[in-house]
Structure 1
Amino acid sequence: MELENKNVLILGLGVSGVSTVKALNKLGANIIISDSKKEDELKDFLKSIELYSVKLFLGTNDVPLDDIDLIVKSPGIPLDIPIIEKAKKLNIEVITDIELAYRIIPKNKFIAITGTNGKTTTTTLMGEILKKAGYSCHITGNIGVGILWEAVNSKKEDIFVIEASSFQLESIDKFKPKVSAIINITPDHINWHKTYENYINSKKKVFKNQDKTDFTVLNYDDEVLRNTKDNINSNIIWFSVNSKLNNGVYIDGKDIVISHYGKIVKVMPWKEIKIPGKHNLENALSSIAIGWAMGIDVEDMADVLRSFEGVEHRIEYVTSIEGVKFYNDSKGTNSDASIKAIEALEPPLIVIAGGKDKGTDFDDFIKSFKGKVKALILLGETKDKIKETAIKYGFNNIYIVGSMNEAVNKSFKIGNSGDTVLLSPACASWDMYESFEERGKDFKEAVYNLKED
């Protein structure tokens, strides 16, 4: 895609925005940046681009569009804001970074991994598997690494493993991965997508441009995904924790196996996977399916799965103090993710939850407690909403707090030796923090401070 001397407007100066600035500068584009945040809120990002020639519109999205050739928006910016509506009327294309990356390097192999939960773990795990197999790869996307700067500095043989969010996928047009994967779909981001159906459809866009030369990895245990097979033109590879498959990756007794048209290939005993929990078994099976599509040796995949310890902020063991264990699951940004964390750990649990309201309910979250959770500590925008739901289902041991530090101190005060304190908010972080990473770090700092008291 030719961008030299084109006027490109970047909407939103976050991680992806900085990467986009650097890439567009290298490609010779004229760069305009708009962000509704003011200069003092963006100082770290502005410092990252201070050497580049850009025109800034900060604290506003009221930008003249007369000479704009293309808009690259930060994934989380809604499509119904006035500047995007105006761009559509002027026939100015609005895309996200993964779409532009594909247009810049369409011959590179892209692996796009999406789903409501498990994206980060699977993307990271897949990157480790590719590295073990000797490939040069880039781990990018929603995982916190902007793809465009990686793309313009890549080689033809490089592979891109992309954690693709529903926000990114909503604005794709030509993006065509060699392998796409949807790990699962449950309600999330309804406040952004407006309906669950819209959210599902955004996820399905990951395979919309694929053909018979490509592969799509799907979770057979997920009814939404099982019913979508007729819409797919690529080669489907199923994975399942619960069912034996004629073609796909599944559990057969003690082993993970690949069934390929009657031929059975043993990968490894499933109990040898290092990361805990049924949800991580799903992540492992999806990674094996992707690896199989890419032609990676099963021994390389098994070696990585035996040593891979997971990712920060996802059921991450922090420390033990006086017999009380602390786990950081700040990546649990929706009910389904937090349910998986509760299922993965041994009781009794003290759960810290609450945060930004994304328009979903918390019934299933509370129902998952099933005698495992002894106390619930709530903070953030959704604290009252979750409390009301808990009381509705007869769970009353609830504490309302105003900060993470207070939550951690309360959990330790009511905890006993043998208890586990789990931060798994079931909500986004944006009411109190810039990101789930910042929230997780705040939790860990508060836990470590207990040792110093």
Structure 2
Amino acid sequence: MKKLVILGGGESGVGTALLGKEKGYDVFVSDKGKIKEIYKEVLINNEIEWEDENHSEEKILNADVVMKSPGIPDKVPLVKQIRDKGILVVSEIEFASKFTQASIVGITGSNGKTTTASLTHHILKQVLNVGLAGNIGDSFAKQVLEEGYDNYVLEISSFQLDDIVDFKPHIAVITNITPDHLDRYDYQFEKYIASKFRIAMNQTKADYLIYDADDEVIVEHLKKHPVQSTLLPFSLTKQIENGAYLKDDNINITINNNQIIMPTTNIKLEGKHNTKNAMAASTVSHLLKIRKQTIRESLENFQGVEHRLEHVLKINKVQYINDSKATNVNATYYALESMDAPTVWIVGGEDKGNNYEELFPFVNEKVKAIICLGADNEKLMQTFGGMVDVIVETQFMSEAVKIAYKISEAGDNVLLSPACASFDLFQNYEDRGRQFKSAVRNL
């Protein structure tokens, strides 16, 4: 019996444990932190051996294969020991993909992947039997075990791609690549780029890579490191022969001389970046032979993703917007770019070595006041102090929202778009976003 050791008892770990057990592995789950009660119950009910707040090295180093949670860096001594022993280390998507014949759409990128994956799934599910997994919802492994869909849309992070071996999506999407998580890649942008491109490493000419042709990082990397896949770029600025481009507010998509044209005027999602997300999702759908009318209707009734430019409430003619999912500067760039009114901007958190320079034009043009919400706001105060008349700092969401309420006027926006990770004051970006919404509703 092959021994499967799982490091990390979260959603992906427990899903993999269930699938592994079903497929005849001897499964052991080990978590250095505490395993949540809800996951403990699943493990106990399924008679899967587990431990938490500890790693039993002897047991772990006896594995045939190790599935490690994407949150555990390679630098951890235990992971080094596992690799030095020649034990295969895989990610959940690698493990689960071995047990499904389904057609896979894999979506990665620094920003926009959640929206693009959710939108793609929203279109495809009108016609196909399709699951949505990866970084969203129930784990891929659990869905392979319990649902057995014919198609999957997977939102995939660079950390999950770092541990693939044979994983091959039939259609891969790279939304964009901007510096993020560099602390995990020795502060070398090149390593992070290469990690994203692993999504195409096993693809052949029969598979497709859809990418943003306006993103110089992607275009340059493809020149130096060509892939086998059939390329379908999308662009807001250039005319594209095979792929998608924007002209006169219409998305034009051509695949093998088969063209469809989609008006963007009634798309629910606002902003240029969302036009790109819509292009990527529509290109996937066109490839999978979804009718133009179905794609268009789906684009027009898609509500968007929670914590991503989510319109919460209008109070005294001030619009409150929750963009808590903006955990890096580039995501906040898109948010500020799409603001069409004077904006009170709530920013801050755990800084990942941010360079805020690209935001300066928007701050000068659109931001009337800044509220710094972080355990340490010094860098923000120094960077933006001279740019706006009002800049204040706080450590509490309820206080940040109250200050915003006081300084905003009719016609303004109040935007939570932190550009930072949330772990200094919150459990995660969802917790941060929900606290914002709750504070707004309590005004």
Q: TM-score, normalising length from structure 1? A: 0.93
Alpha-carbon distance in 2 for matches of 1:259, 1:126 = 18
Alpha-carbon distance in 1 for matches of 2:222, 2:400 = 45
Give the 3 Å change call, closer, same or farther, for CA 88–379 of structure 1 in structure 2. Answer: same
Q: In the alignment, what sits opposite 1:270?
A: 264
1:448 counterpart = 2:432: no
Q: In the alignment, what sits opposite 2:241?
A: 246
Give the 3 Å change call, closer, same or farther, for CA 303–417 of structure 1 in structure 2. Answer: same
Q: In the alignment, what sits opposite 2:373?
A: 379
Cα deviation code 1:208-259 (max 9, x no counterpart): 1000110110111111112233411011111111111122111121321123
Alpha-carbon distance in 1 for matches of 2:96, 2:400 = 42
Alpha-carbon distance in 2 for matches of 1:358, 1:44 = 31
Deviation at 1:381, TM superposition (A): 4.2
Q: In the alignment, what sits opposite 1:167?
A: 159
Deviation at 1:263, TM superposition (A): 5.6
Q: In the alignment, what sits opposite 1:282?
A: 276
Q: In the alignment, what sits opposite 1:433?
A: 426
Of residues 367-376 and 323-332 in structure 1, the stretch that sits farther from structure 2 once superposed is 367-376
State the number of aligned residues: 439
Letter paired with 2:23: L
Of residues 15-24 and 70-79 in structure 1, the stretch that sits farther from structure 2 once superposed is 15-24
Give SS of 2:265's match.
Answer: helix
1:383-402 matches, within 5 Å, as 383-391=377-385, 394-395=387-388, 397-402=390-395
Q: In the alignment, what sits opposite 1:16?
A: 12
Letter paired with 2:157: S
Deviation at 1:129, TM superposition (A): 0.9
Of residues 62-71 and 440-449 in structure 1, the stretch that sits farther from structure 2 once superposed is 62-71
Of residues 321-330 and 209-218 in structure 1, the stretch that sits farther from structure 2 once superposed is 321-330
Deviation at 1:205, TM superposition (A): 0.3
Q: In the alignment, what sits opposite 1:409?
A: 402
Deviation at 1:264, TM superposition (A): 4.0
CA contact (8 A) 1:215 1:293 kept: no
Q: In the alignment, what sits opposite 1:7?
A: 3
1:259 counterpart = 2:258: no
Q: In the alignment, what sits opposite 2:178?
A: 186
Letter paired with 1:75: P
1:96-107 matches, within 5 Å, as 96-105=91-100, 107=101
Partner of residue 130 from structure 2, selected from 129, 137, 157: 137
Partner of residue 320 from structure 2, selected from 317, 320, 326: 326
Give the 3 Å change call, closer, same or farther, for CA 396–32 of structure 1 in structure 2. Answer: farther
Letter paired with 2:242: N
Alpha-carbon distance in 1 for matches of 2:27, 2:428 = 26
Of residues 209-218 and 289-298 in structure 1, the stretch that sits farther from structure 2 once superposed is 289-298
CA contact (8 A) 2:339 2:366 kept: no
Identify unmatched segments of 5+ residues in structure 1.
none
Cα deviation code 1:366-424 (max 9, x no counterpart): 44323201111112245222222213x63452111011111111111211121111111
Partner of residue 36 from structure 1, selected from 32, 39, 44: 32
CA contact (8 A) 2:364 2:387 kept: no
Letter paired with 2:142: W
Deviation at 1:363, TM superposition (A): 2.2
Give the 3 Å change call, closer, same or farther, for CA 406–285 of structure 1 in structure 2. Answer: same
Identify unmatched segments of 5+ residues in structure 2.
none
Alpha-carbon distance in 1 for matches of 2:16, 2:159 = 16
Deviation at 1:128, TM superposition (A): 1.0
Q: In the alignment, what sits opposite 1:221?
A: 214
CA contact (8 A) 2:106 2:173 kept: yes
Cα deviation code 1:79-106 (max 9, x no counterpart): 110110000111111111111111222x
Alpha-carbon distance in 1 for matches of 2:13, 2:231 = 34
Give SS of 2:78's match.
Answer: helix
Q: In the alignment, what sits opposite 1:359?
A: 353
CA contact (8 A) 1:249 1:285 kept: yes
CA contact (8 A) 2:278 2:299 kept: yes
Partner of residue 343 from structure 2, selected from 335, 344, 349: 349
CA contact (8 A) 2:43 2:49 kept: no
1:207-218 matches, within 5 Å, as 207-218=200-211
Q: CA RMSD in A?
A: 1.8
1:314 counterpart = 2:325: no
1:92 counterpart = 2:84: no
Deviation at 1:430, TM superposition (A): 2.1
Partner of residue 152 from structure 1, selected from 145, 155, 161: 145
